[in-house]
Copies of this chain bind each other. A is one copy, B any other.
Amino acid sequence: MDNLPSACPKTPEFLYTMTIDDLDARLIALLHAEPRLGVLECSRRLGVARGTVQARLDRLLARGVITGFGPDVSPAALGYTVTAFVTLEIRQEAGHDPVSHGLARIPEVLEVHTITGGSDLLCRVVARTNADLQRVIDQIVDVRGVRRTSSVIALDTPVPYRVLPLVEDVPRHGGQQYVRSP
């Protein structure tokens, strides 16, 4: 538990809440690899009882560790092959909210964060081509409260979004090893 914040209580209750088990991690990894697997098949692969898998899944869902089960859609497969990160400067008087709300109305805006540093908002957008990106950026600039934007285009994505390494890392640091009952 070397990377747990020092403020953390480190009681069993806390570990229960904030970390996952070796078995949890293996379950997530398994579902990640073969997502349409049923509970029964999972239990076979993991070598535990079906009820255990069911309970673990329920708990992971209840705790919000697993928030859902896709489907994961690839914008690129829909023709949106250009990804860009656009940072926005906004007129602070109005506040972030109306701006985010306006951005949310643009389908090509996939994600919006408020950020520290020189700019106010960072968003991830996709477009069909570079020319199409211009159209999207124009829409962003048109959002009321946006003062100026600055974009960088993602040329390549050597590491696509992933959580698995994190998941597999947690049990080693904060969690317990799962030991099968006799």
Q: Mark A62-73, 1 if CB is under 8 A from B, else 0.
A: 011111111111
Assign chain A's interface to a size class: 35 or more
**List of B residues within 8 angstroms of A76 by Cβ:** 64
User: How many identical subunits does the complex contain?
Assistant: 2
Q: Mark A147-166, 1 if CB is under 8 A from B, else 0.
A: 00000111111111111011
Tell me the complex Cα distance, A98–B168, Å: 23
Q: Are B107 and A165 in contact (CB under 8 A)?
A: yes
Rounded to whole Å, the gap between the CB of A68 and the closest CB of chain B is 5
> With contacts A85-B122, A152-B117 known, is A111 near B73, CB below 8 A?
no
Closest to A122 in B: B85
Q: At the interface, yes or no: A36 with Cβ under 8 Å from chain B?
A: yes
Q: Mark A30-54, 1 if CB is under 8 A from B, else 0.
A: 0110011000000000000000000
A65-B78, A66-B73, A67-B72 are known; give 11 further A-B pairs, CB within 8 A. A32-B71, A66-B72, A66-B74, A69-B69, A85-B115, A107-B165, A107-B169, A110-B162, A114-B158, A116-B153, A116-B155
Q: What are 9 pairs between A and B in contact, CB < 8 Å? A: A31-B70, A35-B70, A64-B74, A66-B70, A69-B71, A106-B165, A111-B157, A113-B157, A114-B155
Question: Which residues of A are at the interface with B, using a C-beta cutoff of 8 A?
Answer: 3-5, 7-8, 18-20, 28, 31-32, 35-36, 63-80, 83, 85, 96-97, 100-101, 103-104, 106-117, 119, 122-124, 126, 128-129, 131-132, 135, 152-163, 165-170, 174
